[in-house]
A and B are shown apart, each in its own frame.
Chain A
Amino acid sequence: METIFWILSAITVLGALFAIMLRNLVHCVLSLILFFLGIAGHYFLLRADFLGAVQILIYVGAVAVLMLFAIMLTRHVTGDEGPREVLGGKWWAGMGTAIIIAGLLWAIIRKDQLAQILPAGGAQTSMVEIGKAMVTDWVVPFEAMAVLLTAALIGAVVIALEEVIRRR
């Protein structure tokens, strides 16, 4: 188990790093897919099977492919021009963030009784249980999601319709 965890973590971290550091946008998206797969692997390792499957279906299957299409169909954005600076001139911002995160992680690992908080074998939930929970305990947020998606759909159509833009 532990070996698998480290391998998966290495894949995930490398995928994330390449996604922001590579020059070619298409390569970036491909490493992002690698990252998504790594996360899905972690979900499976935690026995959240459904979440892992959804992660692959939605993020790898839909989101990443959509990104690839968007990049390929848009001209002049795949380019390899110049070296990429991830932080630009804002190295101090990166340093600050890194210090804060390192400090928080150190404090959490040192002080929190993580072993007591987290269930030992991960949470085992079946799709049947998730489905039932959605229409019983979580029926209100579930319905709210439906309204949200309706609103988002209407908005997407309105925004995507072509119109003359006048500068002001």
Chain B
Amino acid sequence: MTPVPYFDVLKGLGAEVILTLTALVALTLDLASVRRAEMSVRSRTIGTTAVVGLLASTLPLWQQLNGPRMVLLGGTLAMDDLIIFFKLVIVALAVITVLISMDFDVGRHVGEYYAVLLFGAVGMMLLISAEELITIFVALELTSVSLYILTAFHKGELRSQEAAVKYFMFGAISSAFLLFGLSYVFGVTGATGLQAIQDAVKNTGGLAMSPLLATGLLFTIVGFGFKVAVVPFHLWAPDAYEGAPTPVTAYIATGSKVASFFILLKVLFIGFAGLQGSAFWGNFASGWTMLLAVTATLSMILGNCAAIVQHNVKRLLAYSSIAQAGYIFIGLVAATKMGANSVLFYIIVYALANLGAFGVVAALSSRAGGDEMQNFDGMARRAPFLSLLMLIFVLSLAGIPPLGGFFGKFYLFASAVQRDAQHFGLLWLVILGIVMSAVSLYYYLILLKHIYVIDGSDQSPIITPTYLNVALGLVALAVVALGVYPKPILELLNNFSYSVIAGLVR
């Protein structure tokens, strides 16, 4: 038995350790010192602690940046620049979520709320650095369990309870699917490390020779499909998004999505590198690109069409993110280095815009008395700054130039067209994506119409705390910057997506 490099492991897990400790400190601080203080004071104190902890957790990450790629303990902990970059993205998303939460009524269990939120961030970070099935599963469960708990935090409201139960039930079943699929994969390949699986898959002779492997692949994708909420595994999403406290919705829709997509990309591109099959028009072959192409098609059509008839803003954004997951799958179907880059770029843009949109909804709905469309009537006059930010976020989600969403979508579609460019093999998926983006413009504009055109009965101005305005403003700035000048991030991704892409031929 080789000696275990415990010190390296601890160094690699520095950020996670700091976050776990911060969670425990937040819990103790709330219990010991500010329990009797006023609600807003408690929320601010504990929230600030969480933000400080999150910022402190980036220190070990900065330190490891530009280091060599390390894979410890058979892939349970991998470390390279791409992983560190995405861990930083998770920290940024969590910080904004905490700031949104500080302005939001999360009930009287303040310490517990921030502690569980931080545990969720630990799960997402572990998920990002995992390259081994057992670790992936445990990290995914840690993330999900934290989110189930957070969803139920609006204890006074029935719809929060209902959402939590639904989310939990669907999540538990999806975990069962995932674990079942992974166990078959392990059974066939005899390995749990993604790299080792890739090597073993080459020797099995592919899907045609091994229905066992095909079953494993199918169930794994079904399990991940639940986690990222694509049709037909999306049924939990609208209810969970609507019922959860809005900052939690933001967290579910961004942090967990980024981590889940990142790990799905790794599992598919490294672990199942030999099994992609083909989704080219007229030349279909069984494999995961085929499965993803089908779910992408269904998600784009159903997500966009269902969003049109929604009256609740959170529900609308839920269906919109189902459709967005469909667009992201197009990049995965391309199964090239460019496809991987476009997926990574788009999940960042998508997460920022969605986080911002839910942040604005959280800030405004608690002051306007609800999150239905009518509550946002005339909001442009009541809260001009946040309305402007909402305009940016929503237009970015719709994919209007010059915002990040436009460039991200363009990059996704371009990667699909470039794949098999001679025969336009994936053009059918791209055309569908473009048509559905046009459909999506309708409901995004209806939301903006409520904010900007329709006059509301209540004209009183809405004042939001400065720190929240600044935080959401920075998010909006990032969304604009990623659209106007995406080059630095693209170069970053291009330089270090080698690790993710190593398994694929091209």
Point out the residues of chain B lying under 8 angstroms from A161, CB to CB.
109, 155
Interface: B188 (CB within 8 A): yes
- Residues of B194-238 at the interface with A, using a CB-CB cut-off of 8 Å, are 209-212, 215
CB A38 to nearest CB in B, in angstroms, measures 18
Q: Which residue of B lies closest to A159 (CB)?
A: B152
Partner of B134, one of A104, A114, A138, A150: A138
> Quick one: closest A residue to B19, CB to CB?
A147
**0/1 interface trace, chain A 125-161, chain B, CB 8 Å (1 if under):** 0000000100011111101110110111011011101
Is B211's CB under 8 angstroms from A139's CB?
no
What distance in Å separates the Cβ of B289 from its nearest Cβ neighbour in chain A? 21
Closest-CB distance, A107 to chain B (whole angstroms): 4
Residue of B nearest to A154 (CB): B112
Q: A136-B4, A164-B156 are in contact. Are A147 and B161 (CB under 8 A)?
A: no
Q: Write the B1-44 contact mask toward A (1 if CB under 8 angstroms, else 0).
A: 10010100100010000001000000100000000000000000
Given contacts A141-B135, A154-B116, A154-B149, contact A108 B74 (CB under 8 A): no
If A136-B1, A138-B76, A140-B77 touch, whether A165 touches B212 (CB-CB below 8 Å) is no
Q: Is B317 an interface residue (CB 8 A)?
A: no
Interchain CB contact under 8 A, B112 and A144: no
A90 proximal to B (CB < 8 A): no
A163 touching B156 in the complex, CB below 8 Å, given contacts A107-B211, A144-B139, A147-B119: yes
Q: Which of B298-351 contact A (CB under 8 A)?
A: none
Judge whether A165 and B156 touch: CB under 8 Å. Answer: yes
- Chain B interface, >50% SS class: helix
Cα(A71)–Cα(B459), bound, Å: 53
Q: Is B73's CB under 8 angstroms from A137's CB?
A: yes
B149 touches A159 (CB 8 A): yes
Nearest neighbor of A103 in chain B, beta-carbon distance: B211
Interface size class of A (residues with CB under 8 A): 35 or more
What's the Cα separation between A138 and B161 when bound, in Å?
35
- Chain B residues contacting A152 (CB-CB under 8 Å) are 145, 149
Contacts of B98 in A (CB 8 A): none
| Contacting pair A150 B119 (CB below 8 A) | yes
> A151 and B116: CB pair below 8 A?
yes
Interface string of A28-72 (1 = CB under 8 A from B): 000000000000000000000000000000000000000000000
Contacts of B153 in A (CB 8 A): 158
Q: Does B122 contact A (CB under 8 A)?
A: yes
Any B CB within 8 A of the CB of A168:
yes
Report B-chain residues with C-beta under 8 Å of the C-beta of A167: 158
* B155 x A163 contact (CB < 8 A): yes
- A sample of 15 more A-B contacts (CB under 8 A), given A132-B1, A139-B9, A168-B157, is A108-B215, A112-B188, A117-B188, A137-B76, A140-B72, A140-B76, A140-B126, A140-B135, A144-B126, A144-B138, A148-B142, A151-B145, A155-B116, A158-B109, A165-B157
Interface residues of A (CB under 8 A from B): 104, 107-108, 111-112, 114, 117-118, 132, 136-141, 143-145, 147-148, 150-152, 154-155, 157-159, 161, 163-168
Can you identify 14 A-B contacts, CB atoms within 8 angstroms? A104-B215, A107-B211, A112-B188, A117-B212, A138-B73, A139-B9, A140-B73, A140-B76, A144-B142, A151-B142, A158-B109, A158-B152, A158-B155, A165-B157
